[in-house]
Structure 1
């Protein structure tokens, strides 16, 4: 490792703490920041040595200046002590980023990150793992995102991520990574220059002698930079101006080279001129390159390269131990590069472009040099620059939207304004702009070509692609408008009806059920006549949800099963917006078949994960949370909702209405109004961004409950009315039979009898259409409230006994007990109250139970000794059945991915379960969890 590290005692202590924390089973991140030459890499070597000593499996890698546009480059170049790095590369290669004939959606980025996380999860299940990465300031966005995902998803694993970076350049993606790591208790060590005493100590160790006064004076010019100091010392030694007298070394040199670049060039000036010329070419290629690239650019054979590079390899200037030739010090590469006259740099990069293109290098690799060449000498920009940028964009688009955007925009800038290729480029670029949140720019860009230069099929394609991207942004109404524009470009009526199929689904999601169903029927007929399976499945999805929303549950089930059968053979990573399993699951839930609904949603989640259709994963996870809420599995509902929020964040898909409402409803029931208020505010933010779309009424329902609990009856009633009137044709989709009785109660408390009767009448009409026990129970609860009649409430209890909804049954029991007690039938009310309390206590609904106790006290009733003990909120007694199953699998040594497969859930769900377990048990690692589980037998 060379000289001992001096002047970094505090930093070494932080490094040892990070190693110990990771070894204890907690993912740990440590980033070392500082200027070039300040000692970042030297400290990193110490951490690597410490990791090896403690039994970590070590992976090392580095980013390079030209890597910022090459997705996941750092991970594909990882090295390890055995062949593990090769196996990781093979795993990444298995994720196909170049499949032809599929639109670029960026979903593959999510799939690749999932592959990386699962691969490292498997490694950390066997041994502690250290991931040491150099120069993260150059890393591409996908690599930075993957690093953040590793620390977040493997928080309970023995993983250490340590990296180096410079304070400048500092891209916003690096800042985002630092924020993510800080949220996970990661640390950033900022290295300052060595103190004067530490600099003298470094000289003493390098010389094995005491530095004299003259040498100390010159050393002060290094500003505490260890690399500058040592290179200065070597340069003075090479000039033979150092003299030794006894145990002291000094110099009579009166001047220091004016900058580090000259010092480094002087240091290596002994190398043969042919070697230096070759190194200058290598510097133009970047910090590292393949031997074949250098051979192609230099016009040499490999054997000649070996001869001419041997002095550089022997002296350690170049490292040839890996697959690539690499400069050991980026600063020396930069010095060589800057030593090339500026007038020649552009020409050299153009030569590199020609050589790499002839050698069949990846388009992004060639495009990097086209870009650098243009910056170096704009007057000699390559005539085919736009073509290379465009090819690089397509190469990156499937698995890194930021990288693709860079190249698409470079291509657009390189094309003349009236170039005939420009419209086709816009068709590909605009959806990615939308996907990255730059909607206004996408609209403006699309507008420049939509009505003028594009032919009709291209206009239709542009509109459809933008619509899909808008859906990911949660902008459903705008997406529907785009589909209409696309259909207008179709001269053939059959093609027009097929194109309008996705638009019908979007119209349903925004509440226009009648119009959506009519259009879906036309689209279904057209799709069947044209033999378009994807279009047929899309129409069946709309018809399934339309039938469910209207209460024709048997018809919805038939259509749903037909839709899943049609979609199955057509499903790939991106074929329209295929969520046929989700639509069938909703229909099953609306038919009171909650167990079937959960199984169907799980199947859809698994299929979407396998096919790489990442954008639909949050929808399935949200519907699972809804099903668990209705089934009374509130802990599982909260876990599923948390997993949905994580998936929505990681897939850049905006779909949080329902799960935020689920979490807020549970928080209110459990007596956590502040938590509920925070969740409602988050949901309101989503509502403002997305507008009135399926799930928005759930937000208003929970907000009304919150206002009721805060003693604001008038505001609660006004919000209840908004909830009921927002999306009238979607009121009863997703089987939310809890809402109508809540809204009636809130309306009556504010003396708004008109609203109470309107909600009751609408619910009774819906119950007749649905014909399910749940619908009947909700209608009878509403009628019992408006008429203040115990017999309706008792009938609701009887109805709910045949429904798979234990919470609604408990609320019906509470309502019936309250009505009976008010009528003087206290003895008849007592068992109903007890039954309600048993169900509420079982779910930790202390807020709801508190209300029942208050009513009972008002009538002279007490729970009595037979009442159930309130569930614990911490400790082993607080764990749910699902959590205990997860713990058992963890104790067996299974990874989260393996547990997810055993339980037929997503890995995100397992991670959320474990987060809850760690909080309840005050445990911070799965190793400690497994040990405690074993101790308890």
Structure 2
């Protein structure tokens, strides 16, 4: 292909697969659906280039010929419509651009052939706008969504960063508009040496747009202009318009309808249509909107359109818009404040309105315009406090949707410009940024006598991170009490974090639920992803992986809606952790792979560490303790290890180390973990500590005492899945001691618990152990190789799966000599001579894994 298509990798892959199928003598069809400028024609070109030596027939629909039956087929086949059937006798790729503009006879014929080409070496690709594929119904669709900000940023090139941001925001993910906008600017504007126009009209596409607009009826053109007078309109505003004109407008490629909303296909098209209209036409359109809008329900819009209908709005309108913005949802409020800021003379008032507009854009999940307005606001800031507030919002956006390491420096700088209480918020956000970047907290605790809650939080957490929980306990108790009583979302989050550190996961979960509720009541979604992250984490601490998974999945959606890509990565990693707990390896890996690019791009050290922990959990599921240990030792062993992760991941490190025969790292990790569990007094953490002690114990009497203690503590703490896992490990030890009846009792209870959790992996694991322990009910569920004991059958299955004796010994917690002894007996019993013959025998019996 001549050039890479940014953000279209999946679409190119589907086209390539179709071309390859045609080469192999198979057929198929695809329908590319997307708005004007989304890259349909470029993808057809990519398919043509991929076709190579294949015969390619390419056609573009022409509106002027739509009434001429067969005109399209005649052009496609060079004047011989019957040649289409001849072409289908050899491998051929048929590409149809603007298929909705073909005459119906030609389109029906092509659609008919496309539906019947599965067993012929023929591929069809049609390109249509949304809603233009009715004659192609039933063929596989490939919808072209807007480019992501990252893909658009790569496409636009090496312009000055602020210019790139403005271009990307104006194009709204439309690649053709993006390139046209860049082409309309001067070199000085692209380099940032000259200011950009407020609304960027398209450059070289203006002529074509004008021609397409002129082809519409006067009534439809008027409605297109009305739609381009605002960013989004309620479709009911247009309900009293001429029905045929409205239908023509909505079918055009100038507007999009989504639910009850109608808007221009992109900001660039909106700006171009508006700029090319006459002043009289623009005023008439604004006048029509002002008359159609309810001045109470849509006050900010009504004020704006009333003012524009009268001429150029003056500064007095700015105050009206700013006042009306307080009653609007974040997106509408942002637009009103943005317009108010444009009408405000340079100075502090302009900076305040730009900052307010940026804050509302951010609350609406639009980071790009927010960043652009903040850059403008800094140019007009007149006081230290204004500069500090601008830096705080810049830093928070960078924390959630940029590079946390940079956010830390911006937020620290902001604190130097702000009064005490606001400085405290900036510093707390700075510490959050430092944490997200995977760095240790600042050991210096600034004195904040004016803000006791923040000071208590910072002091308690700092002591905890130094390993002095006893010293920080009093401060954290204060945060828990005062933060829980507050109605503020941040206070609830601080209280929840304090409860987690204090070892009160149920209370932490309650505070997380409160934070989620308060975020929704406040209609401010900027903190909803953080609240859902805490909800997922506390559910995991309570051993409720299904609940943790649900909260994390909701968090991914909330982060996407809020434009917080870093928060999205955090939630993907938390969802992967919950999936790993349930034994769902594929889902966990898929979520880790999805989060990995963002983790690397933004330097999300905390998320990267948790991702490594998840991969270590998956290694243990795969019976690869050596790999798990290699991942966990660097995370937990050094002085730079994150204290909470050092605690949370310690049970996995202990299990991995014991299975690798390395007692030293297991004992070191367990010593730290026991200290924490003892200081917090949390039953669930103490249960895991007791289980680890049981795994370390060589003497069975000692191990049994710790296992029994762990089981009691699990039940006290309300654990389910961890209780089942402890019962599974205890049963294995009981079997080694030849106490199979007691082992079966533990396993039957474990089976009941894992089935209640819906954990299929653990259900199969427990059933396998039950069969090995001679449970008749478990054995009846699966066939067996005649003559083998349950233990021998389990070993035979693992051998057939390709595992070594050492791996089998590690998995079953047996000595390697015991495995070798069983394997010799298996060979004798089944009259086999090799592991290969054993694998074949189990395959024939339907027992191979």
When the two structures are superposed, what TM-score results if normalisation uses the length of structure 2?
0.51
Q: 1:172 to 1:487 in 2, by over 3 A?
A: farther
The partner residue of 1:619 within 530, 539, 552 is 530
The partner residue of 2:456 within 540, 563, 570 is 540
Q: Secondary structure at the match of 1:811?
A: helix
The partner residue of 2:415 within 487, 494, 506 is 487
Cα separation, 2, equivalents of 1:484 and 1:441: 23
Shift of residue 452, structure 1, vs aligned partner: 9.2
Shift of residue 463, structure 1, vs aligned partner: 1.2
Alignment match, 1:515: 442
Shift of residue 469, structure 1, vs aligned partner: 3.3
Q: Deviations over 1:441-498 (max 9, x none)?
A: 86687567759964322211211222333344375443332221112235x8898667
The partner residue of 2:757 within 827, 838, 843 is 843
Shift of residue 549, structure 1, vs aligned partner: 5.9
Q: Does 1:503 align with 2:430?
A: yes
Cα separation, 2, equivalents of 1:682 and 1:145: 37
The partner residue of 2:250 within 166, 170, 178 is 166
The partner residue of 2:687 within 777, 789, 796 is 777
Alignment match, 1:214: none
Q: Does 1:763 align with 2:764?
A: no
Q: Is the 8 A contact 1:720 1:743 kept in 2?
A: yes
The partner residue of 1:647 within 543, 547, 558 is 558
Cα separation, 1, equivalents of 2:233 and 2:728: 54
The partner residue of 2:517 within 587, 597, 606 is 606
Alignment match, 2:70: none
Q: 1:484 to 1:780 in 2, by over 3 A?
A: same
Q: Does 1:798 align with 2:709?
A: yes
Shift of residue 438, structure 1, vs aligned partner: 7.5
Q: Is the 8 A contact 1:412 1:425 kept in 2?
A: yes
Q: Is the 8 A contact 1:720 1:747 kept in 2?
A: no
Q: Is the 8 A contact 2:569 2:599 kept in 1?
A: yes
Q: Deviations over 1:761-813 (max 9, x none)?
A: 43244334434333333334344445656534751441352241232232222
Q: 1:514 to 1:594 in 2, by over 3 A?
A: closer
Q: Map of 1:732-747 to 2, 5 A cutoff?
A: 732=644, 737=648, 739-747=649-657
Cα separation, 2, equivalents of 1:372 and 1:850: 71
Cα separation, 2, equivalents of 1:666 and 1:867: 30
Cα separation, 1, equivalents of 2:618 and 2:247: 46
Cα separation, 1, equivalents of 2:552 and 2:282: 55
Q: Deviations over 1:142-179 (max 9, x none)?
A: 778999xxxxxxxxxxxxxx999625454789699999
Cα separation, 2, equivalents of 1:688 and 1:146: 46
Alignment match, 1:807: 721
Q: Is the 8 A contact 1:560 1:580 kept in 2?
A: no
Q: Is the 8 A contact 1:405 1:432 kept in 2?
A: yes
The partner residue of 1:672 within 584, 597, 603 is 584
Cα separation, 1, equivalents of 2:779 and 2:505: 29
The partner residue of 1:562 within 478, 502, 522 is 478
Shift of residue 638, structure 1, vs aligned partner: 3.5
Q: Map of 1:271-286 to 2, 5 A cutoff?
A: 283-286=284-287
Q: Is the 8 A contact 1:431 1:465 kept in 2?
A: yes
Alignment match, 2:398: 470
Cα separation, 2, equivalents of 1:625 and 1:868: 39
Cα separation, 2, equivalents of 1:608 and 1:395: 23
Q: 1:514 to 1:323 in 2, by over 3 A?
A: closer
Q: 1:710 to 1:371 in 2, by over 3 A?
A: farther
The partner residue of 2:615 within 703, 710, 718 is 703
Cα separation, 2, equivalents of 1:176 and 1:754: 65
Q: Is the 8 A contact 2:767 2:778 kept in 1?
A: no
Shift of residue 674, structure 1, vs aligned partner: 2.1
Q: Is the 8 A contact 1:588 1:596 kept in 2?
A: yes
Q: Map of 1:322-471 to 2, 5 A cutoff?
A: 364-368=301-305, 382=312, 388=317, 392=321, 395-396=324-325, 399=328, 423-424=351-352, 426-428=354-356, 431=359, 450=378, 454-471=382-399
Q: 1:848 to 1:648 in 2, by over 3 A?
A: same
Aligned residue pair count: 535
Shift of residue 847, structure 1, vs aligned partner: 0.9
Shift of residue 510, structure 1, vs aligned partner: 5.3
Alignment match, 1:580: 491
Q: 1:742 to 1:650 in 2, by over 3 A?
A: same
Q: Is the 8 A contact 1:671 1:847 kept in 2?
A: yes
Q: Map of 1:708-747 to 2, 5 A cutoff?
A: 708-710=620-622, 715-721=627-633, 723-724=635-636, 730-732=642-644, 737=648, 739-747=649-657
Q: 1:175 to 1:613 in 2, by over 3 A?
A: closer
Q: 1:797 to 1:644 in 2, by over 3 A?
A: farther
Cα separation, 2, equivalents of 1:286 and 1:854: 76
Q: Is the 8 A contact 1:394 1:404 kept in 2?
A: no
Q: 1:647 to 1:820 in 2, by over 3 A?
A: same
Q: 1:586 to 1:404 in 2, by over 3 A?
A: closer
Shift of residue 740, structure 1, vs aligned partner: 2.0
Cα separation, 2, equivalents of 1:494 and 1:631: 34
Shift of residue 869, structure 1, vs aligned partner: 11
Shift of residue 618, structure 1, vs aligned partner: 3.3
Cα separation, 2, equivalents of 1:419 and 1:568: 40
Q: Is the 8 A contact 1:592 1:772 kept in 2?
A: yes
Q: Secondary structure at the match of 1:515?
A: coil
Q: Is the 8 A contact 1:797 1:813 kept in 2?
A: no
Q: Is the 8 A contact 2:495 2:508 kept in 1?
A: yes
Q: Secondary structure at the match of 2:496?
A: helix
Cα separation, 2, equivalents of 1:173 and 1:519: 54
Q: Is the 8 A contact 1:557 1:588 kept in 2?
A: no
Q: Is the 8 A contact 1:748 1:756 kept in 2?
A: yes
Shift of residue 742, structure 1, vs aligned partner: 1.9
Structure 1 unaligned regions, length at least 5: 1-9, 11-30, 35-68, 70-133, 148-161, 180-278, 291-321, 325-355, 375-381, 528-534, 573-577, 871-937
